[in-house]
Amino acid sequence: GNSVTQMEGPVTLSEEAFLTINCTYTATGYPSLFWYVQYPGEGLQLLLKATKADDKGSNKGFEATYRKETTSFHLEKGSVQVSDSAVYFCALSVSGAQKLVFGQGTRLTINP
């Protein structure tokens, strides 16, 4: 079946630190991959996505590269800010299906 495994949290970093949140997936076919972010008290927002192997999604300083050989889609940011504190979800969808399969989420806290 299709599944997503995320790095367990919570993750706590200092401002300006480098961030990596690991995400690996199992899927039939060729999935599209997503990172969503959930700020406190809000719904999920799309952060970035990639639809084929070697694509790099980027937004707000965050990046993730679709790695087919390692079935991974790790989220990175070079210098985090307090405002990046949120829960981050990795997700996939398989071609032809509209359903998103989410990872369990990783809570990120950035201290000033």
Partner 1 sequence: DAGVIQSPRHEVTEMGQEVTLRCKPISGHNSLFWYRQTMMRGLELLIYFNNNVPIDDSGMPEDRFSAKMPNASFSTLKIQPSEPRDSAVYFCASSPRERRERQETQYFGPGTRLLVL
Q: Which residues bind partner 1 (CB under 8 A)?
A: 32, 36, 41-46, 49, 51-52, 89, 93, 95, 98-100, 102-105
Residue 62 phi/psi, 5° resolution? -90, 145
Cβ proximity to partner 1: between 57 and 80 the closer is 57
Residue 83 CB, shortest distance to partner 1, in Å, is 19
Cβ proximity to partner 1: between 98 and 112 the closer is 98
Residue 82 CB, shortest distance to partner 1, in Å, is 22
**Helix, strand, coil shares, percent, the chain, to 5:** 5, 55, 45
Residue 111 CB, shortest distance to partner 1, in Å, is 23
Counting every residue, how long is the chain?
A: 112
Longest dimension (CA), the chain: 44
Cβ proximity to partner 1: between 43 and 112 the closer is 43
Burial class (CB in 10 A: 0-12, 13-18, 19+), 1: exposed
Residue 16 CB, shortest distance to partner 1, in Å, is 29
